[in-house]
Structure 1
Amino acid sequence: MSTSTETLPASALPLFTVADAAKAFGVTPNYFYERIRDGRVTTVDIGTELKPKLRIRNDTLQALIEQHTTHAVSDAA
């Protein structure tokens, strides 16, 4: 098994700003900031101690979608 040390281009990184995630979900950024504060949404901080830059991973957003997806129950028996 070989390992690669190639770097992914920035466009391939599955990270979203809070604003972009909110826009994709059709909610306000405050929706995500509340979930970040209460620990329901995790973030990656790519900033500095004085100026944080929070990003949300694509798989985190996918998990949030799955958690809130409901499936209709069939009446057919």
Structure 2
Amino acid sequence: MAMIRQPKNFPETVKEVRRQLALSQEELAHALGVSFATVNRWENGKTMPSKLAQRQFEQFCALKREQGELV
């Protein structure tokens, strides 16, 4: 399984995942177990996720792909 480490386009990836799933930043934050401010900073490129948060995000996306909710 290929794991992408800190992609340069992470802010766009987060926005696109939220758009496809029709989630607010608050809802995505809750699903990932992080704060709204964390998701906001990721999208604005102010911070990159920790390794743990990156893994949680990847697992969340993988689950949503399996469920057919994410392309």
Taking structure 1 as the reference length, the TM-score comes to 0.34
Structure with bigger helix share is: 2
Report which structure shows greater RCO (CA 8 Å, sep ≥6).
2
Q: Highest CA radius of gyration, 1 or 2?
A: 1
